[in-house]
């Protein structure tokens, strides 16, 4: 398998499906919104059709690969490769006409990420990297921010659809960061948040109750761009552990604040 050629094909596919999304958003009927399993967890035919198009083409590009998709495509791998995809990350933004949504595609080989593409649809920015290579945006190499102080940093987070008994602790984390940084943004697409950390527009991103398809590609991009990605414990279980902290140079400042409120035993 030529990973470079595969990456180029995935980028082309993302751009094509992105054009479909933009065309649909222009005439989208809000009456076609569906609820998933909880209030405000929304889905549309655009999510479902986008996933169908992605899966169809990706299956041809890498026959025998497995899939983990937000809209229900879950098939086992027979060749050791698995695509982890979010066909429309930022569905609520899309449905309300906000131009902040993306396609997120990650490829894992034996549980190790080897390729990631996040296509920010509205502005046509495609962030991508593959194993052994730096990260890029539209052909230009990107790196995480070199800011090393939390007080000079801009952060991002998200508000989970599924609230747990950790909700109050999470709000305390947000309060602490608001008091110690340039501010917090809530863009509505974890994939874009991570892509923006990778290219240095944000110094850090944190969230909980995440799924693998939310972070597979974006987390890989941050790492390839020189950043750090962990779970709230400081470990590596961010892909399936449901919580993630990603940053450029301020991880040593972010994690202690998160852990102080999250009930994590800090390492000495």
The answer to whether 115 touches 129, Cβ cutoff 8 Å, is yes
Confidence of residue 166 (pLDDT cuts 50, 70, 90): confident
Which CATH number characterizes residue 179's domain?
Answer: 3.40.190.80
Top pLDDT among 5 and 111 is at 5
Domain boundary among 95, 122, 142: 142
Confidence of residue 42 (pLDDT cuts 50, 70, 90): very low
Same domain assignment for residues 183 and 62: no
Confidence of residue 24 (pLDDT cuts 50, 70, 90): confident
> Does residue 27 form part of some domain?
yes
Mean pLDDT of the chain: 91
> Does residue 13 form part of some domain?
yes
Helices (H), the chain: 3-26, 45-61, 91-95, 167-180, 190-198, 212-224, 251-262
Confidence of residue 267 (pLDDT cuts 50, 70, 90): very low
Of all residues in the chain, what percent carry a pLDDT higher than 90?
78
Q: Is the pLDDT of residue 90 over 80?
A: yes
The single-letter DSSP state of residue 30 is G
Same domain assignment for residues 120 and 218: no
> Does residue 267 form part of some domain?
no
Domain boundary among 142, 175, 207: 142
Which CATH number characterizes residue 120's domain?
Answer: 3.30.540.10
- Per the structure, the complete domain to which residue 255 belongs is given by 150-262
Q: Rounded to the nearest 5°, which phi and psi values hold at 22?
A: -60, -40
Torsion of the alpha carbons at 139, 140, 143 and 147, rounded to the nearest 10: -150
The number of distinct structural domains making up the chain is 2
Q: Is the pLDDT of residue 195 over 60?
A: yes
Same domain assignment for residues 114 and 154: no
Judged by average pLDDT, the poorest of 2-11, 29-38, 127-136, 199-208 is 29-38
> Does residue 268 form part of some domain?
no
Domain boundary among 110, 142, 174: 142
Task: Give residue 44's pLDDT.
Answer: 72
């Amino acid at each position: 398998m030529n990973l470079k050629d595969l990456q180029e094909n995935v980028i082309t596919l993302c751009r094509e499906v992105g054009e479909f999304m933009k065309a649909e958003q222009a005439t989208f009927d809000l009456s076609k919104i569906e609820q998933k399993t909880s209030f405000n967890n929304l889905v549309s035919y655009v999510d479902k059709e986008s996933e169908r198009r992605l899966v169809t083409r990706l299956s041809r590009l890498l026959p025998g690969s497995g899939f983990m998709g937000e809209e229900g495509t879950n098939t086992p791998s027979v060749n050791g490769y698995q695509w982890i995809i979010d066909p429309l990350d930022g569905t609520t933004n899309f449905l309300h006409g906000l131009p902040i949504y993306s396609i997120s595609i990650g490829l894992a080989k034996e549980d190790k990420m080897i390729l990631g593409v996040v296509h920010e649809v509205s502005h046509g920015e495609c962030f991508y990297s593959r194993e052994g290579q730096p990260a890029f945006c539209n052909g230009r190499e990107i790196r995480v921010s070199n800011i090393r102080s939390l007080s000079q940093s801009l952060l991002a987070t998200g508000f989970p659809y599924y609230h747990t008994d950790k909700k109050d602790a999470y709000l305390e984390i947000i309060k602490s960061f608001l008091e110690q940084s340039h501010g917090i943004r809530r863009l509505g697409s974890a994939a874009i948040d991570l892509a923006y950390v990778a290219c240095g527009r944000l110094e850090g991103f944190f969230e909980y109750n995440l799924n693998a398809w939310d972070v597979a590609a974006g987390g890989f991009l941050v790492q390839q761009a020189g950043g750090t990605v962990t779970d709230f414990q400081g470990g590596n279980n961010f892909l399936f552990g449901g919580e993630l902290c990603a940053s450029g140079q301020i991880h040593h400042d972010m994690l202690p604040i998160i852990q102080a409120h999250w009930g994590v035993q800090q390492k000495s």
